[in-house]
Structure 1
């Protein structure tokens, strides 16, 4: 497995293991009685609903998977990231939030996600060019200087994390704030309590005993977590600002047991947010039906738009986009009074026609996407309840030589299995065709 994939998967595995270990330790500390409170069991005489796993043969698979994520989303909990200075941590936090089901992420004084990776190509990073990143990328430290000794593998690794973060952001609601004061004001206006993470000794331990002690033995209307709460994470070096700490209703920390008294920011975020769900399982799926419908409308349309175009249409759209970007550069030269050659002027003269062609493709795609999912938004299918991928879909970014290497040969993550039944592209295209027939 190449370094890009292996480092990401190793990091994900370590974080997952840490979550499980921490939950296990918390359960032992709190005792069997506390553990039983966190387990939802069917009522007497009721039959537990069968788990619905992801499968390539599952009808309406991609929509049912989206519905599974929507049903587990929460809007009771907001993650606030205050002045994160490392884009690597920033991207990891976004992915963690999406994976754990937190819909709303508020960013104070955000930085660009590509701060430490400059790409020459205007198309950015995607799966199709991930192996070419090293050819045209400049890697920088968070403080700004260029990393001149950066290897191709390191650049690919950084690009991979940016790619994962962008994919996660597609399914999150991210709100940016220029300063802490404005963010605090908005949280108060929307009725959220503020819990700030803090390593100071006056902070309360983020455990059942710690919260009950803070509340004088009580709870928040029978729960350990307020009805609406924002958990705030500060910078890697100094944590939350004094302004945020002073505004916080509660300062919290995770109990650590070694000489190291702090964790990497992205790891701390994963552990803290997971612990919030452990303390109050009702956070899972805590969202109004109106909010869910808004997500369905946005997500279903996006899923359709990503799949409706044919390979030829995608290629044509890419060429048109590149053409218009080239025209934009020519226009800059013209406005700056620079020399513009005859060939460039001829190219620029066709800009309006090319833009009209691209707009026509985009408008038709938008209309078809809405047609494909309209009935599904109003009548969503039953959700997938276990979000783990089927083996057929676990192929990851690995090189040809790695796939042939004996330690990983024929593993689910290294072998590519052709899956055609209930293909998602065909599913959406058939729905557009069916709706057109109904219209006629």
Structure 2
């Protein structure tokens, strides 16, 4: 990883991280390391044109709760917005990838995920589908959720390797996206953690996130960093 370079000299990210640790309690540092040990990129979430901020925020909160680090957001029509009282700051701890300025944000997202080795799985009750409990987690999975009214678009479903649904036994035919995401992530991450899959972050990924999270956790970070680089 490239070292941080300042105008007043060269100091590495690791040196900065070591310096910033003194501004956090041992309990806070322990919590950061504990969360890091349970983070994964084996499973990632994709949101396609989700409209309501409270739904986006609830999915982010569930992603953080179940240890999923990355969320990919396709913004063909609807902008990415969060609701602070629902997200509760969880977006600070996640890596959010936004696809909005390209000619075809959907295709750019698909191509990116495929390059990273993900199997694309669309959530849909229609077409050839399998239940969420039957979905294999042996390979990296990108779980795709669509907008509130139409769900995942046909264009994106055509790109998917598989479709999954959550079985329901009442009169309703669908669940709110935030509920569906929570149920799906609970199911998949539970089975993933119980398996022999190497689902954890590698050392470089964990180190990079640890530095980011420490920086996020320190109050008045700009002034403290300025003193560090000028010292």
**Which is richer in strand?**
2
- Give the 3 Å change call, closer, same or farther, for CA 111–296 of structure 1 in structure 2: same
Matched with 1:113 is 81
Partner of 2:90: 168
- Cα separation, 2, equivalents of 1:284 and 1:238: 35
Aligned residue pair count: 199
Match of 2:160 in 1: 248
Q: Flag the 1:289–1:266 CA change in 2: closer, same or farther, 3 A.
A: same
- Indicate conservation of the 8 Å contact 2:42/2:199, yes or no: no
1:182 — aligned with what?
Answer: 108
Q: 1:226 to 1:249 in 2, by over 3 A?
A: farther
TM-score by length of 2: 0.78
Alignment-derived partner of residue 280 in structure 1: 192
* Secondary structure of 2:42's aligned partner: strand
Instruction: Determine the structure 2 residue equivalent to 1:264.
Output: 176
- Aligned twin of 2:206: 292
- Tell me the alpha carbon deviations over residues 41-84 of structure 1, each in whole angstroms, 9 at most, x when there is no partner: xxxxxxxxxxxxxxxxxx70001001111110001111000010
In structure 2, what is the Cα distance between the partners aligned to 1:87 and 1:201? 29
Question: Would you say 1:100 and 2:12 are equivalent positions?
Answer: no
Aligned to 1:193: 119
1:356 alignment partner in structure 2:
none
Q: Using structure 1 for the length normalisation, give the TM-score.
A: 0.42
Q: Which runs of 5+ in 1 are unaligned?
A: 1-58, 115-160, 212-223, 310-360, 371-435
Task: Please give the alpha-carbon distance, in whole angstroms, between the structure 1 residues aligned to 2:26 and 2:96.
Answer: 28
Residues in 2 aligned to 1:170 and 1:368: alpha-carbon distance in whole angstroms? 24
SS in 2 for 1:75: coil
State how far apart, in whole Å, the 2-side matches of 1:68 and 1:284 are: 17
Partner of 1:344: none
8 Å CA contact 1:72–1:285 kept in 2: the answer is no
Is 2:224 the counterpart of 1:365? yes
1:146 counterpart residue number: none
Shift in Å, 1:290? 0.8
- Tell me if 1:75 matches 2:1: no
Partner of 2:148: 236
Q: Distance in 2 between matches of 1:249 and 1:367?
A: 48
Is there any run of 5+ residues in structure 2 with no aligned partner, and where? Answer: 1-24
Question: Highest CA radius of gyration, 1 or 2?
Answer: 1
Query: Which one of the candidate residues 226, 250, 261 is aligned to 2:138?
Result: 226
- Give the CA deviation at 1:301: 2.1
